Chains A and B, each alone.
Chain A
Amino acid sequence: MNNTSKLILIVLLAGMVVVSGCNKKNRKAEGADMGNTGVSTSGTGTEFGPDGKPLGDWQSGALADLLAQTQVYFAYDSTELDADSQAIAEAHATFLSNNPATKVVLEGHADERGTREYNLALGERRAQSVADVFVALGVSPANIEVISYGEENPVAEGHDESSWRLNRRVEIRYDR
């Protein structure tokens, strides 16, 4: 198989994994390395953390997968982390506590239902839930910034649950 065909095959495989991943509750972030997804590595430091730097060989593939997820989702009216969200938050917390110079921004959001100002507060509480996990696992509060956008920055604009559930989220952002 020549190089072009190999490349096409890898891209197709990666595309299939990303598409199937979209159906799951936890979505892989757009920024996940297409080349690494679905391709096993030996964890020898070829994987990259969310800040763009190599992870280092103590990081497992599973942790890297969780770290690749930079969105955490919430039930309606809720600011609590479910088990999946908790796992993602803990993965990022682990990463951050091992990289004490790295700063993170937690952006909280809400779906469009209800009043805007109340949703601004709700978004902040969601981001704070994630921040609380970070601090509990040793991340310095000075490295965490919590910002709420309420319902002002939706990612999906439909007026039904298929859009609303995508908007009820906290985005974990690393400054580069």
Chain B
Amino acid sequence: MKLSNMKKLAALLIILSGLMVNPVQAVLTIEINRGVDVGIPIAIVPFSWSGAPVAGESMTEVIEADLTRSGRFDSIPQADFLQQPHNAKEVRFKDWRLIKTDYLVVGSIRQTGATTYNVKFQLMDVFRGNTLTGYQYNIQSTKLRNVAHLISDIIYEKLTGEKGAFNTKIAYVTVEKTKKGRRFLLQVADSDGFDPQTILDSHQPLMSPAWSPDARKLAYVSFEKKRSMIYIQRLSDGKREKVASFKGINSAPAFSPDGTKLAFVSSKDGNTEIYVLDLRTRAIKRLTNNHGIDTEPSWLPNGRGLVFTSSRSGQPQIYRMNADGSGVQRLTYSGKYNARPSVSADGKLMVMISRGKGRFHVAVMNLRSKEITRLTDTLLDESPSFAPNGRMVLYATEQDNKGVLAAVSSDGRVRQTLRFLQGDVREPAWSPYLR
């Protein structure tokens, strides 16, 4: 083989190995299913590299995947590009009008030190022929993916008027079979499933992770003492506290929007009921009192009430009550099983699991009109969780006999699956905005 061909082959192998998923990351994002292409057309030109490329990172791919996953954008294929500009000065707008893109993203990544990089990007309006916005960042190489998500958020907000939720985290539970039995991990990863960090490692089940509003703590249910108990754990140092270990069930923790209270479920008084723990005084207040199962409390964003699941009418349905338990109102009337409600941060939408024809799927209710839209058509969906901007829903489902996570835009148009290399994944919880 000629020397130049060998060099090319070597370069290709290096690039391919760089693109291979690092087994430590254990996340593989697959398949973006799109509905009708009515998103905003946007072209993202691969950022130029100067210096040593960081293996596995492609900021352009991260930005493109983020924007596409939101359901609001359609990205123009790179094969259609007539030029490859890296800053505003290099852009020839007519070349972009020809391929019918409304917006253009250009950028550059330049190594400035052993592990430091300078990242610049600009967002251009192709019709008007001008720059809408642009930023630059000086960062460590480990932050390249975070900056890509930040750039996605800026582009998203500029073009839709809504805050983006790409620079956020997700918590979830993975289950793996080992020789010693099942191994459960509570993990936190980026919103696209990358860079998972293990928060807890257990041989007994873990359930219901719930974020504190400052995104610094997770509450969760652990069976490590052979029955359900609730813990709150600080993410920065792993320090944790057992907050509920009453007789019977201790589960379904939910932080209030101001972070001072934790709603939870206990059966200590003879039946599963919803209680609120004041995290400062440790006083407990009982909210529900009836013969049915009351569970899955979720706070309204103004903190003045909660939605929850109750079987008081015979089958699980969703209800609303004030923060002191008064004023119970039923919200769902269609179908025989509606559960696991969660309200978007703007208070407008409520996501839930509904059973129809034996299938459990994610549905969304407009809280003003009470209209319900089914978002999925899979069989065994669970644990729906809104992104903090209310525009995407993360949930757990089964695919090819494995537990996977999926994200669907709240209009149902775009869906993306997050599958883990080892074992099943379940119980996702989308973080609040990070500060």
Contacts and interface: CB of A to CB of B under 8 A. Distances in A.
A140 to B, nearest CB: 16
A118 B296 contact: yes
Contacts, number: 77
B249 A115 contact: no
A151 B206 CA distance: 12
B228 interface: yes
Interface in A128-168: 146-150, 152-153, 159
B205 interface: yes
Contact of A115 (B226, B296, B379): B296
Interface residues of A, number: 21
Contact of A118 (B223, B226, B267, B316): B316
B205 A117 contact: no
B81 to A, nearest CB: 45
Interface in B223-266: 223, 226-228, 248-249, 251-252, 265
B265 A117 contact: yes
B293 A125 contact: yes
Contacts of A117: 207-208, 251-252, 265, 295-296, 309, 340
Contacts of B208: 116-117
B207 A147 contact: no
B339 A115 contact: yes
A173 B397 CA distance: 32
Given A118-B296, A159-B398, A152 B309 contact: no
Nearest to B396: A116
A90 interface: no
Interface of A: 77, 112-118, 120-122, 124-125, 146-150, 152-153, 159
Given A118-B316, A148-B227, 8 more contacts: A112-B380, A115-B339, A115-B383, A117-B208, A120-B251, A121-B272, A149-B205, A159-B401
Query: 3 closest A-B pairs (Cβ-Cβ)?
Result: A152-B205, A121-B272, A121-B293
Interface of B: 205, 207-208, 223, 226-228, 248-249, 251-252, 265, 267, 272, 293, 295-296, 309, 311, 315-316, 337, 339-340, 353, 355, 360, 379-380, 382-383, 398, 401, 427
